[in-house]
């Protein structure tokens, strides 16, 4: 039976876990996410010979700023002491406080180039244009008008939306297989695309045990959202679910002794968790392919037919938006593997089984 650690107990009891000294110069600092079932992001502080380095920063609001600063203080440092920030991916519950940390401390910010390009693209596109582009895409997917109307009043709290417009642009690059640049630490970058195109995990290859700071890539009980990435005209269509599955295989082969995720609680047996996720997506793909055999479906219809944590009728605007995006990734995987095809000569686009 898994050990009932403070972070596991806090998740079970639906309370904010304490700041924890995890040993070996690693600290865990929970930063709340307002009005979100995930409740908090686990920010990790790594002690280094040049000062503390953070892995992610948490959601930017007054409470988050205060709690992050007090967590750093509990580890024996001040926010102004932070030497650098390693970002697993650009979502606001991970990258949100980066600009604040940099302004206070002068810390560098590092991110994979594929992720940094998303940050730059979002900052460069006006919100109205960004939403208009999304509306055109969703209209072609058979999304009904009442959902499209919701985009106009949307507050931008999606993982990929306008909430990231104020995010800091990184000034360092994280490269797969290379050192993450934390002075005095054996920390290596593992590129793990899927949840986002430039998501990274960080492999701490030190005694007494190897650890993987896994961001959202590998969580103990939650399956991260895998949705279509932004595409440039003329690019080869992306396959984020294929990327995610391949990334999982790499982590299973690495077999770290402990996983330090960005949400929930730390755990062991990475290969076992990877197997569960691979099986989960294989079942979803098989089920979706079976539905396409029965009849051609639009993306919206496919999303309605997939299984979510609540019935479709109970999903709100954001939950449906994310469900459609994840359904799109599964349909793209079926197309990439030759099990489906999209008929694009009329709208809405429909998918057929092959």
Tokens 């931008």 belong to: 156
Q: What's this model's pTM, rounded to 2 decimal places?
A: 0.93
Helices (H), 18-61: none
Q: Average the pLDDT over 234-255 and give the result.
A: 89
Q: What is the 3-state secondary structure (H, E, C) of 127-186?
A: HHHHHHHHHHHHHHCCCCHHHHHHHHCCCCCCCCCHHHCCCCCCCEEECCCCECCCCCCC
| Residue 215 DSSP symbol | E
Mark 102-111 as b/e (b = at least 16 C-beta within 10 Å): bebbebbbbb
Kindly state the helix (H) or strand (E) to which residue 216 belongs, with its residue range.
Answer: none
Q: How confident is the model at residue 146 (pLDDT cuts 50, 70, 90)?
A: confident
CB 304 within 8 Å of CB 312: yes
Residue 124, class by beta-carbon neighbours within 10 Å (0-12 exposed, 13-18 middle, 19+ buried)? Answer: exposed
Q: How confident is the model at residue 164 (pLDDT cuts 50, 70, 90)?
A: low
Ranking 63-72, 145-154, 186-195 by mean pLDDT, the lowest is: 145-154
Say which residues have a Cβ less than 8 Å from residue 189's Cβ, sequence separation at least 6: 112, 174, 175, 176, 177, 178, 179, 180, 200, 202, 203
């Amino acid at each position: 039976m898994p050990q009932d650690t403070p972070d596991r107990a806090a998740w079970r009891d639906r309370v904010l876990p304490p700041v924890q000294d995890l040993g070996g110069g690693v600290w865990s600092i929970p930063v709340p996410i307002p009005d979100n079932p995930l409740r908090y992001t686990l920010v990790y502080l790594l002690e280094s010979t040049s000062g503390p380095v953070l892995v992610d920063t948490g959601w930017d609001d007054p409470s988050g700023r205060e709690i992050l600063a007090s967590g750093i203080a509990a580890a024996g440092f001040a926010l102004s002491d932070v030497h650098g920030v390693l970002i697993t991916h650009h979502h606001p519950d991970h990258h949100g406080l980066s600009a604040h940390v940099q302004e206070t401390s002068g810390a560098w910010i590092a991110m994979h180039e594929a992720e940094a390009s998303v940050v730059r693209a979002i900052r460069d596109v006006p919100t109205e244009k960004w939403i208009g582009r999304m509306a055109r895409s969703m209209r072609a997917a058979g999304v009904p008008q009442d959902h499209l109307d919701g985009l106009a009043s949307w507050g931008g709290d999606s993982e990929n939306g306008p909430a990231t417009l104020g995010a800091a642009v990184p000034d360092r690059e994280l490269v797969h297989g290379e050192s993450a640049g934390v002075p005095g630490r054996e920390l290596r970058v593992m590129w793990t695309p899927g949840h986002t195109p430039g998501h990274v995990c960080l492999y701490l290859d030190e005694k007494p045990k190897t650890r993987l700071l896994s961001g959202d890539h590998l969580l103990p009980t939650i399956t991260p959202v895998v949705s279509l990435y932004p595409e440039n005209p003329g690019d080869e269509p992306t396959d984020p679910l294929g990327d995610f599955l391949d990334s999982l295989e790499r982590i299973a082969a690495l077999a770290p002794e402990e996983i330090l995720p960005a949400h929930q609680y730390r755990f062991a047996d990475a290969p076992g968790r990877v197997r569960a996720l691979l099986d989960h997506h294989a079942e979803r793909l098989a089920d979706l392919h079976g539905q396409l055999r029965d009849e051609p479906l639009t993306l919206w219809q496919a999303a309605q037919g997939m299984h979510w944590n609540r019935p479709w009728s109970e999903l709100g605007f954001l939950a449906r938006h994310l469900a459609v995006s994840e359904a799109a990734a599964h349909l793209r995987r079926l197309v990439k593997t030759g099990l489906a095809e999209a008929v694009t000569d009329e709208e809405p686009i429909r998918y057929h089984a092959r």
